[in-house]
Amino acid sequence: MLRSVLIEPALELFGQKPNRFLHVTKRLSEYAFVVLTKVVPRVKPLPVLFIKDWERLFR
């Protein structure tokens, strides 16, 4: 599991198929962004500035 998630995409990044790794990274960052903006504020509100920085980081 860990190999397929980390190592193989990393090999693809340096091989001929980097798009899949970048796509997975983008999906993970989108998921993390949704968690931070939708789930976390219900538990503990985050500063808007931090959320904006996070969004810019993953663009």
Q: How many structural domains compose the chain? A: 1
Q: Is the pTM of this model over 0.85?
A: no
Report the distance separating Cα 15 and Cα 11, nearest Å.
Answer: 6
**4-28 pLDDT, tens digit each:** 556 666 666 565 555 666 777 777 7
Q: What is the DSSP letter of 58?
A: T
Burial class (CB in 10 A: 0-12, 13-18, 19+), 15: exposed
Given the structure tokens 């949704």, which residue do they identify?
34
Task: Give me the domain span that covers residue 52.
Answer: 2-57
